[in-house]
């Protein structure tokens, strides 16, 4: 009789959902939140903005403000530096070129984004036109245009900042500063990068 009572109790417990987790195993353990740097848009300024947040994923747009002083922008080279790479990581293959660089005369656009093997908290990013010759870059009109967008995955409940850094893979970058380059591979000094960081938070 005691065994029968225990079996009935167990069945009631399972029927009420006790003894099993109410969490959905298909959902990520954390959700992401993006906090902007607080720097406002301005001509010739490159900064990061939020594009999309989807559960634990954040797509970040790297944008440049127009109208730019230069009409010969050919490429961008910079690192994205995370303060804590255990909180968020770049999703490989997610980088997409925007419309800041406009191909013409048979040009194409190449995008490179990979973690630095020696420094895992850095994502090395390059966006460039391919082809053309002297003067084959372009300017950016009024408003902000996307240089590149990238997806980061938040891994745990904590905070990491992301800031611009210089790309050590680009020997033309003075003092390893983030740079925009013209069609002659010269640094465009009028284009600057936001010195303040954005933040990704795992909730």
167-176 CB burial, b ≥16 within 10 A, e <16: beebeebeee
Burial label, 96 (beta-carbon count in 10 A; 0-12, 13-18, 19+): middle
Nearest to 163 by CA among 38, 57, 48: 48
Q: How far apart are CA 141 and CA 79, in angstroms?
A: 25
Around Cβ 202, how many Cβ atoms within 10 Å? Answer: 20
Domains and CATH numbers, the chain: 28-193 (2.60.40.680)
pLDDT of residue 26: 62
Distance of CA 53 to the CA centre of its chain: 12
pLDDT, residue 92, reads 97
pLDDT of residue 172: 54
Backbone angles phi, psi at 71, to 5 degrees: -110, 15
CA dihedral sign, ordered 167, 107, 93, 42: positive
Going residue by residue through the chain (203 aa), what tens digit of pLDDT does each one get?
444 443 434 334 334 444 444 455 566 789 999 999 999 999 999 999 999 999 999 999 999 999 999 999 999 999 999 999 999 999 999 999 999 999 999 999 999 999 998 899 999 999 999 999 999 999 999 999 999 999 999 999 999 999 999 976 555 555 579 999 999 999 999 999 999 999 999 99
Q: What pLDDT score does 28 carry?
A: 73
Q: Which two tokens stand for residue 8?
A: 């009935």
Alpha-carbon distances, residue 75 vs 20, 31, 35, 186 (angstroms)? 54, 34, 27, 10
CB 116 within 8 A of CB 79: yes
């Amino acid at each position: 009789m005691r065994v029968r009572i225990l079996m009935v109790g167990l069945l009631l417990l399972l029927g009420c959902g006790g003894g099993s987790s109410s969490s959905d195993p298909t959902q990520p353990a954390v959700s992401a939140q993006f906090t902007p740097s607080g720097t406002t848009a301005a001509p010739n300024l490159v900064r990061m903005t939020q594009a999309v947040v989807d559960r634990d994923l954040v797509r970040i747009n790297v944008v440049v403000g127009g109208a730019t002083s230069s009409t010969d922008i050919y490429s961008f080279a910079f690192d994205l530096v995370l303060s804590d790479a255990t909180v968020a990581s770049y999703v490989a293959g997610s980088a997409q070129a925007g419309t800041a660089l406009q191909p013409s005369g048979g040009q194409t656009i190449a995008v490179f984004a990979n973690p630095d093997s020696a420094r895992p908290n850095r994502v090395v990013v390059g966006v460039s036109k391919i082809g053309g010759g002297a003067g084959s870059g372009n300017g950016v009109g009024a408003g902000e245009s996307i240089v590149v967008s990238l997806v980061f995955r938040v891994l745990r409940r904590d905070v990491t900042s992301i800031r611009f850094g210089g790309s050590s893979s680009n020997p033309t970058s003075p003092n390893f500063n983030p740079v925009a380059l013209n069609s002659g591979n010269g640094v465009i000094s009028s284009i600057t990068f936001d010195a303040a960081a954005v933040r990704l938070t795992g909730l």
